[in-house]
Chains A and B, each alone.
Chain A
Amino acid sequence: MVSGAIRQMIKAINQFTRRMPTWPIYFVVLAVIGWHFFMALTGAYRPDPVRMLELEYGLLALQLLIASLAITPLKRFAGLNFVKFRRALGLSAFLFALAHLGVWVALDMQFLFDQMLSDILKRPYITFGMAAFALMLPLAITSNDRLLRRLGGARWRRLHRLAYPLTLLAALHFVWVRKGVQIEPLVYLGLITLLLALRLPLSRRRVAQRAL
């Protein structure tokens, strides 16, 4: 009875999302980026608007990466179908990561290229963050139908498995930037680990067995 009601609800949600367009997501992302920038510019994020911007953009990038990783498990284990939003979520994560990096380069480091380069090479958390961003680039570039077709489904999917290591790198970047061992970034790391673990063949098989 209860599970029947839940199944009805899931079906309704899936029907609803099927009709929803994905393009408004990009408008929301650009509006949020602009909003935080406006807040920083007008003094709402004092005394360190630069750090606040880095933090807001970076956190949103990580949260959207997590959301995009949650799509498959949600479908597999809960029957919720948000697959059509995955590309938009991934690209949104990339846009926030780009804003995050842009603030670091232009406002935080102020184009001190020598210092940036040595930071990227020597400071593990910056190394991890840059590596995560570098891995996002090919995924962002190929997140369109034309390149999906050109690469072919199998190769495209293989390439897009880079999302797993890059999200882990992004989470480690967050863990490491904090002084000491802090709870908040570890919660993110734990969530990502869980979402990745759900993809392991072992947990898949177990679920398959339960389904039998």
Chain B
Amino acid sequence: MNKWFGPGLTENDVTPEEVFLNRRTFMRAAGAAVALPALAGCDVGGGETKTVAGENALKPTPLEDIASYNNFYEFGPSKSDPARYAHRLTTKPWHVTIDGLVDKPGVYPLENILRGMEIEERIYRFRCVEAWSMVIPWNGFMLRDLLKRVGVKREAKYVAFETLHRPEEMPGQKVPLLKWPYREGLRLDEAMHPLTLLATGLYGKPMPKQNGAPLRLVVPWKYGFKSIKSVVRISLVAERPPTTWNLLQPDEYGFYANVNPKVSHPRWSQATERRLGEGLIGKRVPTLMFNGYEKEVAHLYKGMDLRKYY
């Protein structure tokens, strides 16, 4: 069943996890527009920081900010709860069930999934539906590489994701604030988009537990709640899957949840955002269409009324 992970390899051939997760590679052609700011941010050649297309190079938010301010209701509703309680989470061993309309369904150990995957660094904007944002240097691989490996059947139209449900380690799940387990979903073409990442770390380090270790989705042109954390199930399905926030408040949280400054959330105008990590007087900046990835993803939604499909 797992033969596509490469024949004839033993445990000894596995790259030590630390080394593996720490590899910093730059992304390939598909995301050139994203890679440039990454290079600029790394100050290659000691030169001055370049601006790309008139926009300031993306300066990553400090790691301690990224790892201390999380919406991960499995550990509690306060943004400081995940950093406080996520250490309880056991992430080894970790299995991901891949099922539904796939050629090779199964319960895959995480090591098998990671074997042979190219871990890249991608510096993405991260825009929360609450109108704040960060810039996060993720490490991960393209979801489409995994989907190609397991073989997507022709009838599959959507991908559904589930977070771990383990109330004894995730105290927030003892309270029915959300309908557990947390669920998210993407249209297949969104899932196959080269920007869509399954992240295993950030800042070249293994993923902090409060950020969704050991494996989480990152869809940079959508509001943060779409980027489901601590994934244990990936199902290929024919119908649009139910998603957690959409089930709770459908008028506030759409299935698509594309970042769109022109479509307001009932609680927050989405026209502008505050970039965190810049202190008390950090500037409010205009929110970009598709969070700045319009060139890469706008074609996915051609002809759709984005006001209706928010």
A contact set with B: CB distance below 8 Å: 40-41, 43, 46-51, 53, 107-110, 112, 115, 118-119, 122-125, 176-183
Whether A50 contacts B264 in the complex (CB less than 8 A), given A108-B274, A178-B77, comes out as no
What is the predominant secondary structure among interface residues of chain B facing chain A? loop
Whether A125 contacts B267 in the complex (CB less than 8 A), given A51-B132, A112-B272, comes out as yes
Are A46 and B274 interface neighbours, CB within 8 A?
Answer: no
For B132, give the chain A residue with the smallest CB separation: A48
Scan residues 129-155 of chain B and give those whose CB is less than 8 A from a CB of chain A.
130, 132, 134
**Which single member of A41, A49, A181 contacts B177 (CB below 8 Å)?**
A181
For B268, give the chain A residue with the smallest CB separation: A123
B contact set with A: CB distance below 8 Å: 61-62, 64-66, 68-69, 73, 77, 79, 130, 132, 134, 175, 177-178, 248-249, 264, 266-269, 271-272, 274, 276-277, 279-284
Q: How far is the CB of B80 from chain A (nearest CB, A)?
A: 10
Are A47 and B61 interface neighbours, CB within 8 A?
Answer: yes
Residues of B within 8 A of A125 (CB): 267
Are B268 and A107 interface neighbours, CB within 8 A?
Answer: no
Complex Cα spacing A51 to B79, Å: 11
Are B61 and A50 interface neighbours, CB within 8 A?
Answer: no
Are A177 and B277 interface neighbours, CB within 8 A?
Answer: no
Are A107 and B272 interface neighbours, CB within 8 A?
Answer: no
Q: How far is the CB of A56 from chain B (nearest CB, A)?
A: 13
Are A122 and B264 interface neighbours, CB within 8 A?
Answer: yes
What 5 A-B pairs are tightest by C-beta distance, nearest first? A47-B65, A47-B276, A49-B280, A110-B284, A47-B69
Q: How far is the CB of A53 from chain B (nearest CB, A)?
A: 8
Are A177 and B267 interface neighbours, CB within 8 A?
Answer: yes
Residues of A within 8 A of B272 (CB): 112, 115
* CB<8 Å pairs between A and B, sample of 30: A43-B279, A46-B64, A46-B65, A47-B62, A47-B65, A47-B69, A47-B276, A47-B277, A48-B69, A48-B79, A50-B282, A51-B132, A107-B280, A108-B274, A112-B272, A112-B284, A115-B272, A119-B269, A122-B264, A122-B269, A123-B267, A123-B269, A124-B266, A125-B267, A176-B267, A177-B267, A179-B77, A180-B77, A181-B177, A182-B177
For A116, give the chain B residue with the smallest CB separation: B269
**Which single member of B248, B269, B276, B283 contacts A118 (CB below 8 Å)?**
B269
**Which single member of A46, A51, A109, A182 contacts B279 (CB below 8 Å)?**
A46
Are A182 and B65 interface neighbours, CB within 8 A?
Answer: no
Residues of A within 8 A of B61 (CB): 47
Whether A41 contacts B280 in the complex (CB less than 8 A), given A48-B274, A50-B274, A115-B271, comes out as yes
Residues of A within 8 A of B266 (CB): 122-124
Whether A40 contacts B280 in the complex (CB less than 8 A), given A47-B68, A180-B249, comes out as yes
Q: How far is the CB of B62 from chain A (nearest CB, A)?
A: 8
Q: How far is the CB of A62 from chain B (nearest CB, A)?
A: 17
Complex Cα spacing A177 to B68, Å: 21
